[in-house]
C-alpha cells in the first residue's frame, strides 16, 4: 500500500504517513486516560495479531504502525489504524491534528523540513534539504566548472558529488545493512589511495557524476526506509566500529546531516568561484 492510498482511505484522518510507516498521537490529558487507551490498543492489536509500537508519555500516547514483513504499509495497518482511532473517540481522547499544508519549497527547489515533525521526519527532512542544496550548487555546471578549485585546496564540485555518493553507500548500505561495497568503489585500492573519489572525479562526465550521486541517494532512501520499518531510529548498524561500539540509525542520519552541511559550505565557495552564484 502506498502512502497516498493510506492517506486517501476513510477513517484515518488522525494518522500521518512517513517513510517508516503511519503515526498518530492522542492527547490523553492524564496518565490514567493514557493507560486506558494503551489497554484498548493492546486488545485490538492482539485480536488483529498485528502489533504497533506504542509510546505512553504524559500527556499523550503515540502509536506507530508498519508491516515489518514488507517494510511498509499494508491493509493490516489501515484496518488497525481505523480501529485505534475509533477506540480513542469512544474514550473521548482527541488526536493531535495532522497538518495538511503543502510542503514549503524554496526558489531553489528545496523542500524545507517541517517545523513540527517527529524525530524521524526532522532528521530525514534536514538530510534531504542538504542533499537538495548540493544538487542546487552543482546544477548546470559543466566539466570545467566541476573541476575548478579555490586557493590552495584541491577540492572540486565534481569531487564533492563523487565523495558524497561514496559516503551515502558506505553508511547506508555497507555500515547500516552490512553489504559489501558495489562498483565503482569495490575495485578501488583504498589503502593505496584514500582520496580516490576526490581526484578521479576530474575524469568523469558531468552527467555520469550526477547520475552516480542521484542513484546512491535513491538507494540510501530505500535502505533507511527498510531500517526504520525494522527498528525505528534505534535500529543498530550491521557493522560495528573497530572499538566494538555500534552506531544506531539515529546517529548515522545525524552524521550524514553534518557531512552534507560541512561540504555544502565548501560547495558555496566553489560555486561562487565558478560563476559568481551565491546563496544559502
More confident residue, 115 or 81: 81
> Could you tell me if 132 and 109 are in contact, meaning their C-beta atoms sit under 8 angstroms apart?
yes
Average pLDDT over residues 66-95: 92
pLDDT, residue 69, reads 78
What single-letter DSSP state applies at residue 111?
A: B
d(CA 128, CA 109): 11
Q: Which three cell numbers stand for residue 86?
A: 475509533
Q: Give the whole-number percent of the chain exceeding pLDDT 90.
A: 75
pLDDT band at 97 (very low <50, low <70, confident <90, very high): confident
pLDDT, residue 98, reads 72
Query: For residue range 210-227, what is the model confidence (pLDDT) as tens digits?
Result: 999 999 999 999 999 899
| Range among 58-72, 229-243, 245-259 with highest mean pLDDT value | 245-259
Average pLDDT over residues 268-276: 96
Average pLDDT over residues 31-53: 94
Examine the pLDDT at 107 and tell me if it is beyond 70: yes
Examine the pLDDT at 1 and tell me if it is beyond 90: no
Query: For residue range 128-167, what is the model confidence (pLDDT) as tens digits?
Result: 999 999 999 999 999 999 999 999 999 999 999 999 999 9
Average pLDDT over residues 95-107: 73
pLDDT, residue 99, reads 61
Q: Cα separations (Å) of 92 from 35, 86, 88?
A: 14, 10, 6
SS (H, E, C) 59-76: CEEEEEECECCCCECCHH
d(CA 279, CA 13): 39
pLDDT, residue 111, reads 87
Q: Taking Cα atoms as reference points, which of 85, 101, 97, 100 lies closest to residue 37? A: 85
Average pLDDT over residues 41-49: 95
Domains of the chain: 3-90 (3.30.1360.20), 119-275 (1.20.120.450)
- Least confident span in 93-107, 184-198, 220-234: 93-107
30: Cβ contacts below 8 Å, ≥ 6 apart: 58, 59
**Cα dihedral across residues 146, 149, 154, 160: positive or negative:** negative
What beta strand segments (E) does the chain contain?
16-18, 21-27, 53-57, 60-65
Cell 568523469 appears where? Answer: 204
133: Cβ contacts below 8 Å, ≥ 6 apart: 108, 110, 260, 264, 267
Q: Taking Cα atoms as reference points, which of 112, 116, 128 lies closest to residue 257? A: 128
Examine the pLDDT at 19 and tell me if it is beyond 80: no
Mean confidence (pLDDT) of the chain: 92
Percentages (nearest 5) of helix, strand, coil residues in the chain: 55, 10, 35
Average pLDDT over residues 62-75: 87
pLDDT, residue 102, reads 58
d(CA 22, CA 44): 17
Examine the pLDDT at 236 and tell me if it is beyond 70: yes
The residues facing 5 across adjacent strands are none
- Least confident span in 43-47, 68-72, 185-189, 262-266: 68-72
pLDDT band at 178 (very low <50, low <70, confident <90, very high): very high
pLDDT, residue 65, reads 92
Amino acid at each position: 500500500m502506498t502512502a497516498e492510498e493510506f492517506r486517501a482511505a476513510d477513517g484515518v484522518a488522525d494518522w500521518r504517513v512517513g517513510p517508516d510507516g503511519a503515526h498518530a498521537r492522542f492527547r490523553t490529558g492524564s496518565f490514567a486516560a493514557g493507560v486506558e487507551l494503551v489497554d484498548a490498543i493492546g486488545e485490538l492489536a492482539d485480536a488483529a495479531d498485528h502489533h504497533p509500537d506504542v509510546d505512553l508519555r504524559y500527556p499523550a500516547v503515540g502509536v506507530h504502525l508498519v508491516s515489518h514483513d514488507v517494510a511498509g504499509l499494508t491493509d493490516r495497518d489501515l484496518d488497525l489504524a481505523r480501529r485505534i482511532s475509533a477506540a480513542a473517540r469512544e474514550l473521548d481522547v482527541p488526536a493531535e491534528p495532522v497538518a495538511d499544508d503543502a510542503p514549503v519549497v524554496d526558489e531553489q527547489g528545496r523542500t524545507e523540513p517541517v517545523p513540527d515533525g517527529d524525530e524521524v521526519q526532522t532528521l530525514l527532512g534536514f538530510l534531504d534539504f542538504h542533499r537538495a542544496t548540493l544538487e542546487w550548487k552543482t546544477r548546470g555546471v559543466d566539466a570545467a566548472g566541476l573541476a575548478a578549485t579555490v586557493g590552495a585546496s584541491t577540492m572540486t564540485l565534481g569531487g564533492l558529488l563523487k565523495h558524497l555518493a561514496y559516503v551515502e553507500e558506505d553508511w547506508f548500505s555497507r555500515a547500516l545493512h552490512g553489504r559489501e561495497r558495489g562498483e565503482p568503489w569495490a575495485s578501488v585500492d583504498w589503502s593505496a589511495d584514500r582520496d580516490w573519489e576526490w581526484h578521479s572525479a576530474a575524469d568523469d562526465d558531468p552527467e555520469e557524476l550526477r547520475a552516480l550521486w542521484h542513484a546512491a541517494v535513491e538507494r540510501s532512501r530505500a535502505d533507511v526506509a527498510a531500517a526504520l520499518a525494522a527498528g525505528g531510529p534505534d535500529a543498530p548498524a550491521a557493522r560495528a566500529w573497530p572499538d566494538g561500539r555500534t552506531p544506531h540509525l539515529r546517529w548515522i542520519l545525524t552524521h550524514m546531516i553534518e557531512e552534507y552541511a560541512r561540504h555544502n559550505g565548501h560547495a558555496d565557495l566553489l560555486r561562487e568561484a565558478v560563476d559568481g552564484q551565491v546563496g544559502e
